[in-house]
A = this chain, B = another copy of it.
Amino acid sequence: MENFPLNKVVRLIEPGPVVMVSTLQQGHANLMTMGFHMMMQHDPPLIGAIVGPWDHSYHALRANKECVIAIPGVDLIDKVVDIGNCSGNEVDKFARFGFTPRKAKHVAPPLVVECLANIECRVADMQLVDQYDFFILEAVQAWINPHRKEQRTFHHKGDGTFSVSGRTLNRQDRMVRWKQFQD
């Protein structure tokens, strides 16, 4: 994994991929699958995320206020869907699904080696957690796997179907107001 600049984390999150959230509680790492998230601010990078009491990870995130957002390639879709359909209460998800944890740099929860990218996050704001299960996370370190063969992400269409990211269209020449984000 290679270091990825924090002010470019927007490039990983804004397209809206399905992600996994890695947490750690009392020595147990857990994974959940997440589709309700967004970029809120470029730099320092803030990410909004819904993690609810129905998620085992919710309690770890509330308690320890750290997580890793891992972005899987589409080759991992079946494992990622299955991780979203069982509970960390019952299953050691890293072991069951064959994901490899790796020590993060700034947070306690582990990175997920097999993913396209990993974003180490700290909870920055919990004002809307009680009312909406809405956490604001600040990215404090990011990593990418640029040599990974499959770089396509997948996006939940809300009903158990997923669209795979397709070809890239470059419109940088038209983005005259936002040139600072193209470096």
Contact = CB atoms under 8 A, between A and B. Distances in A.
Chain copies in the assembly? 2
A81 B77 CA distance: 31
A162 B168 contact: yes
B177 A168 contact: no
Q: Is the interface of A mostly helix, strand, loop or mixed?
A: mixed
A90 interface: no
A181 B181 CA distance: 37
A169 interface: yes
A67 interface: no
B85 A176 contact: yes
Interface residues of A, number: 59
A171 B161 contact: yes
Interface string A14-28: 111100000000000
B160 A14 contact: no
Contacts of A14: 16, 35-36, 155-158
A37 B168 CA distance: 21
Nearest to A74: B169
